[in-house]
Amino acid sequence: MLKRNLAELSVADGKLYRDAMARYAGHVQLVTTAFNGERRGLAVTAACSVSDSPPTVLVCLNHHNEKNRIFFESGIFALNSLAFHHQALSHAFSGLEKLTMDERFGHGNWDTLVTGAPALVDAIATYDCRVVNMIPQSTHTIVVGEVAALRLGGQNPALVYMDRSYRTL
């Protein structure tokens, strides 16, 4: 049994990796930015804290998607942590409905904090960041942001993505 698992592990198989990562429970966040009068936002789970001194977060963005270039040029982003009642909002920002940015941002109430990146008014928390580092890695770029402003919302149950569906904590 052990031998079989090791053999499976040695296979450079993207599907096996994706199936394994499907078991990872990720808090869904909307990462947003604004630049030259344009806004962009998408649903992500590859985002987390780096440090509390100074407060720093990271988000991994697919740079094969040309539309993500705005994040690499704007120098700012906001991470908006979603609550369970934000499922429809997450879906709108996941790209599956092929909505325009105006249509995406038509869902939810938005304002800005310090940097100008769109901030979801009823997010559990919004981390408003200035980009301090960008590290390309294979298909994605790790964008590191220092938190310039932070807004805490209601302590609602978190929206979690696991087993390719929404859950809550």
Ligand X SMILES: Cc1cc2nc3c(=O)[nH]c(=O)nc-3n(C[C@H](O)[C@H](O)[C@H](O)COP(=O)(O)O)c2cc1C
Binding site for ligand X (CB under 6 A): 28, 42-46, 60-62, 65, 67, 94-95, 161
Residue, CB closest to ligand X: 95
Residue 66 burial by Cβ neighbours in a 10 Å radius (0-12, 13-18, 19+): exposed
Contact between 130 and 34 (Cβ < 8 Å): no
CA 78 to chain centre: 9
Q: CA-based Rg of the chain, rounded to a whole angstrom?
A: 17
Of residues 72 and 114, the one with the C-beta less far from ligand X: 72
Of residues 114 and 144, the one with the C-beta less far from ligand X: 144
Of residues 94 and 156, the one with the C-beta less far from ligand X: 94
- For 158, the 3-state DSSP assignment is strand
Least distance to ligand X, CB of residue 57, Å? 13
Of residues 54 and 95, the one with the C-beta less far from ligand X: 95
Task: Round to whole Å and give the CA distance between 63 and 90.
Answer: 20
Least distance to ligand X, CB of residue 69, Å? 11
Least distance to ligand X, CB of residue 154, Å? 22
The one-letter amino acid at 140: H
